[in-house]
Amino acid sequence: MRRFLIAGNWKMNTLRQSGVALAGELAAVAVHEEAGVEVLICPPYPYLLPVGERIGGSAVQLGAQDVYFESPGAFTGEIAVEMLKDCGCRYVLIGHSERRAILGETDAVINRKVRAALAGGLTVVLCVGELLAERQSGQTEEVLDRQMEGGFSGISEAEAASIVVAYEPVWAIGTGVTATPEQAESAHEHLRKWLARRYSLAFSEKTRILYGGSVKADNAETLLSQPNVDGALVGGASLKAATFVPIIEAARKLAN
């Protein structure tokens, strides 16, 4: 059985005080490791250390929202894998649609980041997802295949064991328009079949595939109860304990 991962992507939100306060509320809710549900938060870089300190001793995991693929050196403004590890990160998001669309990240860049993060011992949450126009023109599966081929390029099955896939249809991100459980399940099933073809059936069955895009307390349970949905990558609703904790609770209910 795959363990649910409920991840909060804070994006470019919170300040130190509000971020640390939120982390404290979550640490109080996820006190002990649970067999069925894992909780992850990804604050902005400057708050990794104080947020990490606040969740220390709890079961809440720390992740970053991006990373650079080079070793430390002359790369102004970038952050290396070993710096994230030094700040206590276990996870890193790579290939988020906002980085693809706004910052111009290509599949080739994303692949270099994935490889660097894996080599440095981080667990990667690799984000994939189609634009509205791509869905409307029936290209969803083709786009997902291309992003998966790019992201997983040159990565062995042993290495890929530290990758979590996040399906985030771009049209559902921050829009309040959530994918229907059927749309999510269909894309997740497609991604799992891709993993089975690329690696093995056993590997595909172990890999977690998260859904992201307007996940809220009132739709979390239906989405998480789909057979191929193994967790949620939550943006807006992860910024307040009052909206994030019910999503954790929905996963707990289904896991028990």
**Which residues belong to the active site?**
96, 168
Closest residue to ligand 13P in the complex (CB)? 235
CB of 196 to ligand 13P, least distance (A): 25
Regarding 184 and contact with ligand 13P (CB under 6 A), the answer is no
Query: How far, rounded to the nearest angstrom, does the alpha carbon of residue 11 sit from its chain's CA centroid?
Result: 12
Return the amino acid letter for 139.
Q
CB of 197 to ligand 13P, least distance (A): 26
By the 8 A CB rule, do 130 and 144 touch? yes
Regarding 235 and contact with ligand 13P (CB under 6 A), the answer is yes
Point out which span in 13-21, 138-146, 195-203, 208-216 binds ligand 13P (CB under 6 A).
Answer: 208-216
Contacts of residue 241, Cβ cutoff 8 Å, sequence gap at least 6: 22, 25, 26, 29
Query: How far, rounded to the nearest angstrom, does the alpha carbon of residue 244 sit from its chain's CA centroid?
Result: 15
Q: Helix, strand, or coil here: 44?
A: coil
* Binding positions for ligand 13P, 162-181, rule CB under 6 A: 168, 173-174
Query: Could you say which of 211, 212, 228, 245 contacts ligand 13P (CB under 6 A)?
Result: 212
Q: How far apart are CA 225 and CA 232, in angstroms?
A: 11
Q: How far apart are CA 22 and CA 179, in angstroms?
A: 27
CB of 75 to ligand 13P, least distance (A): 25
Regarding 233 and contact with ligand 13P (CB under 6 A), the answer is yes
**Which parts of this chain interact with ligand 13P (CB under 6 A)?**
9, 96, 168, 173-174, 212-215, 233-237
